[in-house]
Homo-oligomer: A and B are copies of this chain.
């Protein structure tokens, strides 16, 4: 087993923070399908998106040709507060597993929001500020995105209205409190403040909410309030663009130390982290310059890649948003209540959906008890308490490292470690107490969600 000559934690210099985001769409032969208008079934135009999103972000959303987009100086300044993030050599995990594999993780949890979400939040807040807006609205489930956007808005002195899925609002008072500390307003969703919320409450009395509902409320709140726009932390092309900073730094760190990843593993809910982490590697793969195994890991309880359909569907339960072509479980799908953490969204980034459809990446689903086995194993030797989301990637990273142990191969595995689990200790408690359970939807369960997907034929 060759010992690698790399430091335990690879920190790039501040001056090595990339000054452009990488737009993987520029290198895709089959572009991701455009967002469409549910009425006309035609691609959404700039003007149609203007009531919802900031102008500059719409331009980024629609731009599938420009390979690099400059990061504004104000955003770069903020990035310097917590970036470059470390690419860490998991030597203690390797020792524990007794594997010849070289395991690395790109750790995005070293900021108060606790996750990679801040990378896009600060960019989105910046463009809102630049446009002279008063504030922004958004939704949050597990709370990582809401926390990140609250921090970003606090920095740029923008108002931030967060609709928080009710079950999280009640179970995670501390998440809520961090957002309030950063000056955000946090409303449990479904609320009585929007038409979408009142309708969902009337149809499903006592519902504890879902991301799809909260999105409907946040979008409605933005379009009905002067000087507000809606911002979203995943799924969209613009989000993957901003998150490419993760992959660009990872690639730069690899190049600095001559590392050649064989396998890149990331968790996938809406695709924000995975899409960002793999972007520049995927670019090489698309251009035929290099090859990598790229693995998306999703929860068995919300398996959009592995068991979803690749069709046009609504992005939200209230159907107030445009439609996207993506791997989806149906806009009505709500994962079982026993599912911990994020990765609960019914759909998947259109970019990643197209890449997966075209065979550029793999996807696996994992049960949550196995995920927490990996989380605790990792925490005890690597000194980081991983978020449940991130632990999906750790699980499969460990599985691949154990395969290397069987075959004797010294593969280099990179894991996307999206964040920390400080606000997920209820789930750890269940795991520690032995009361955590798994849930895998049956085909009948999924059929109910699929039945609600509209049958859309596009002709553009």
Contacts and interface: CB of A to CB of B under 8 A. Distances in A.
Interface of A: 7-9, 11, 13-15, 78, 80-82, 88, 92, 110-112, 114, 118, 151, 154-155, 173-174, 177-178, 180-183, 376, 379-385, 420, 422-423, 425-426, 428-429, 432
A453 B181 CA distance: 41
30 contacts: A7-B15, A8-B14, A9-B14, A9-B80, A9-B81, A81-B88, A81-B382, A92-B155, A110-B110, A112-B379, A112-B383, A112-B385, A112-B420, A151-B380, A151-B383, A154-B380, A154-B381, A173-B425, A173-B429, A174-B422, A177-B425, A177-B428, A177-B429, A178-B428, A180-B429, A181-B379, A181-B385, A181-B428, A182-B380, A422-B422
A82 B110 CA distance: 11
Contacts of A183: 380
Copies in the complex: 2
Given A182-B380, A385-B178, A420-B112, A11 B11 contact: yes
Contacts of A379: 112, 181-182
A106 B28 CA distance: 44
A7 B422 CA distance: 29
Smallest CB-CB A-B distances: 3 pairs: A174-B425, A422-B422, A8-B80
Given A178-B385, A181-B379, A8 B81 contact: yes
Given A112-B385, A178-B428, 9 more contacts: A7-B80, A9-B81, A11-B11, A111-B383, A174-B174, A180-B432, A181-B379, A422-B422, A422-B423
A181 B423 contact: no
Contacts of A7: 13-15, 80
Contacts of A383: 78, 81-82, 111-112, 118, 151, 155
A426 B110 CA distance: 22
A436 to B, nearest CB: 13
Contacts of A376: 181
A432 B155 CA distance: 18
A35 to B, nearest CB: 32
B155 A380 contact: yes
Nearest to A382: B81
B177 A432 contact: yes
A15 B5 CA distance: 13
A94 to B, nearest CB: 13
A155 B9 CA distance: 18
Contacts of A173: 425, 429
A371 to B, nearest CB: 14
Nearest to A182: B380
A379 B180 CA distance: 12
Nearest to A153: B380
A155 B381 contact: yes
A235 to B, nearest CB: 25
Contacts of A11: 11
Contacts of A112: 379, 383-385, 420
Nearest to A88: B81
A405 to B, nearest CB: 21
